Structure 1
Amino acid sequence: MKGVLNLEDQLSFYMAYHSNKVNILIHSICVPLITFSSFFLLANFKSPLPVFQSSLDAYANLGVLSSAGLAILYILLDPYVGTAVAPIVIGSSMLFTDILENDSYIAKANSVAGVIFVISWIAQFIGHGVFEHRAPALLDNLVQALILAPFFVTYEAVFVLGFRKDLQKRLEVKVADKIKKFKEAKQAKTPVKEKK
C-alpha cells in the first residue's frame, strides 16, 4: 500500500535525508527536544470556549490537540509502536499544560522552551550542512518532515534495541536506492570542469 499511511514509504522518505551517523545522533537528541518544546509552547494557546465544561478545559489547547493528532497518526502508521509512543506524546503535553497552570512558572518556562527549540533547530541544520551534506527533508516537504521526525527517532531506537529487523532491512534497501538517485541527480546537475 502506497501513500500517507504506508509506514515504509514515510520512513524511507525521511531516512533518505539522514544517513550520516553524527547527523542521526544530533537528530536523536534534538528532535525530541523540538517536539516537546513545541508541545509546551503550543499549550499556551487555549480554547477561548469551554470544551469539557469541567476542570479538563485547561487541556483544550493546541499542545494537547496537536499531540493527540500526532499520536493518532502514529497509531495508524504502526499500531504497536504508535500505541507505545502515544501515552508519552499526549502525556507530555498534558504535563506541560499543568506546568503552565502555575502562573509563577509561565514566563521562565516559556523562555526555557523557546531557547531549547531554537538551539535544537540550529544544531539540526549544522548536522545537515556539516555532516550530512544534504538539505533537510523539510525543504522538500515541510509537513511530512515535521510529522515524521519524532517517529524517525522512535524507529532509530526500536532498531538499536533489536526490534523490527525485517522492517529495518527493507528500509535500508529503499533508502540506499533513494540516496543513489539523489546523488545521481545532483551529479547530473553539476557541470564538469574541463582540464586545461
Structure 2
Amino acid sequence: MNTTADPQAFTRPIDRWFASYSADHQNPVNQKIHYVAVPLILWTVTALLWCIPVPGTWFQAGFWCALAMFAAWSFYYRASRPLGFGMLAVFIAMAWFNRWLYGEIGGAMLLKVAIAVFVLAWIAQFIGHKIEGKKPSFLTDLVYLLIGPAWILGKSFRAFGLKF
C-alpha cells in the first residue's frame, strides 16, 4: 500500500483510516516504538478495565473488560472481517493473560502494573512522535485510538501475505 497516496482514494473506510494513520507514522524509529507501545497500551486498557469492581454476584472480574472488547471487536469486524477475527484472537489472548495475572497477583497489583506500563508506553509514544515531528493521530480524531492496534495487526497480516 502506498502510504503517501491520497487517503480519499481508497474505497473502504479501513483503508482510508490506515492511509491517514500511516501518513503520521513514516519515521522508522517511531514505527518501531509503535510496534511495542501500541500493543502494550491496548493491554493496559484491558487490564485497567479488568480491575473495575463488578457489582452484585452475577458477573466476575473482567466483565467491564469483556464489554469493551466486544464493542471494539464490533468496530474491527465491521471494518474488515479478517482484521476483526485477528483482533478477536488478540482480545482472547489479552483476556486470558489478564485473568491469569489477576489470579496470580491480585487486582490491586494488576492495577499498579497496568498503570505503570500505561504511563511508560505513552511516554514512548510521545517520544516517537517528537522524533516523527508530527502530533499523535488521536489528537485529530479519537477513533485513531482504535485504529492504532488494527494498523499494527494489518502490518502483521501484510508481512505474512494475508489480505484484510
TM-score by length of 1: 0.70
Runs (5+) with no aligned partner, structure 1: 168-196
Matched residue type, 1:119? L
Cα contact 2:41–2:121 (8 A) shared by 1: yes
- Counterpart CA distance in 2 for 1:21 and 1:103 is 37
Give CA-to-partner distance per residue, 1:104-153, whole Å, 9 cap, x none: 533322222111111110001000102x1111101111x21111110011
Give per-residue Cα distances to partners, 1:146-165, cap 9 Å, x unaligned.
Answer: 1111001111212222333x
Distance 2:77 2:87 in 1: 9
Q: Which residue of 1 aligns with 2:52?
A: 45
Q: Any stretches of 5+ residues in structure 2 without a counterpart?
A: 1-7
Q: State which of 4, 13, 16 in structure 2 corresponds to 1:9.
A: 16
The one of 1, 21, 38 aligned to 1:31? 38
Q: 1:138 to 1:98 in 2, by over 3 A?
A: same
The one-letter amino acid paired with 1:73 is F
Deviates more, 1:108-117 or 1:87-96: 87-96
Render the CA deviation track for 1:7-31: whole Å, top value 9, x for unaligned: 1122122222111111111101100
Which amino acid in structure 2 is aligned with residue 135 of structure 1? K
Looking at structure 2, the residues matched to 137 and 62 of structure 1 have their Cα atoms a distance apart, in angstroms, of 26
* TM-score in terms of structure 2 length: 0.82
The equivalent of 2:162 in structure 1 is 163
Matching of residue 85 in structure 1 with residue 87 in structure 2: yes
**Which residue of structure 2 lines up, in the alignment, with residue 64 of structure 1?**
66
Change in Cα spacing, 1:49 to 1:58, as seen in structure 2 (3 Å) is: same
Q: How does 1:108-187 map to 2 (within 5 A)?
A: 108-130=109-131, 132-141=132-141, 143-164=142-163
Aligned to 2:4: none
Judged with a 3 Å threshold, the aligned counterparts in structure 2 of structure 1 residues 65 and 90 are, in CA distance, closer, same or farther, namely farther
**Structure showing greater Rg:** 1
Distance, in Å, in 2 between the alignment partners of 1:163 and 1:157 is 8
* CA distance in 1: counterparts of 2:14 and 2:79, whole angstroms: 5
Provide the secondary structure at the position in 1 that maps to 2:60. Answer: helix
- Aligned-partner Cα distance in 1 for 2:105–2:160: 40
Aligned residues: 154
Q: Is the 8 A contact 2:41 2:117 kept in 1?
A: yes
Distance 1:47 1:94 in 2: 18
The amino acid across from 2:23 in the alignment is A
The answer to whether the 8 Å contact 1:71/1:90 transfers is no
